[in-house]
Structure 1
Amino acid sequence: MFSPARMISTLALTWGLSICASAVSAQSVDMQTTYATKKGGCAMTEKLVTISQGNIAGPGFECTLSNPSPAGTGMEAYDSVCSVDGAEVTEVMAFDLGNNRDHFAVAIPGRDGWMDLYPCTKVPGLEQ
């Protein structure tokens, strides 16, 4: 079953960010993997997004994340320092973790709209 709270805690843990110990669940899920920007798009290497400790990188952007904070139901926000299409952008990056069962979405600073992220490897909490 999809659990936004577990995914939010997991993102904070895997990115090496500090959060209150009471919010960390023993059932945390490792979110570090590669994601496609389209369903079934994991073979399209030029469009993949990688999430690793404290970073998210994809086509035309790379960001370092810190200071997680709730941003509404199923939402999480992070302070970010990004290189986006060659420009440095320091803004909040938002993650929509609660509205989809098979993926989540991210708002890249300096770009309009939301980017969908479909896991290329199995991520507990998300359907494939």
Structure 2
Amino acid sequence: MAKKPFTSVGVQALQQELYALTDAALQAEADAARSEFQDWLIDHFELSSSQTAYIDNFDPDFIAHASALVSHYIGHRLPMSLQAETPPEDDDEGRGKLILFNESQQVVYRQSEGALATGHLQVSIRYTTANS
């Protein structure tokens, strides 16, 4: 699987490729996203050295939460999107970066069909300024 740009278009392209996989192959991707989240991101997206360094320094609590969400949405073939602002020139270390996860999820259960998960995961990357 070729790396995709870390943009909204790249995330959509990766999703299309992932969701075309067999159930077993998709589950392997979901498992990798959960257990090796940072490596999974680096392996799937074209990232600058500063982006890779930022990912390498994610807080363990953030990794646990983000990996569970991304893995769940991948494993259930649910839509995800990325909205990323352009970083300010003076924030080359990502100190003003905010990563926000916004999800709308619903699980419906019918005895004849079992559980069906629906929803959408939106990841937003924003930047704060000294005045924010």
Please confirm whether the aligned pair reaches a TM-score higher than 0.5, indicating the same fold: no
Structure with more relative contact order (C-alpha pairs < 8 Å, separation 6 or more): 2
Greater strand percent: which structure?
1
Q: What is the TM-score normalised by the length of structure 2?
A: 0.26
Greater helix percent: which structure?
2
| Structure with bigger gyration radius | 2
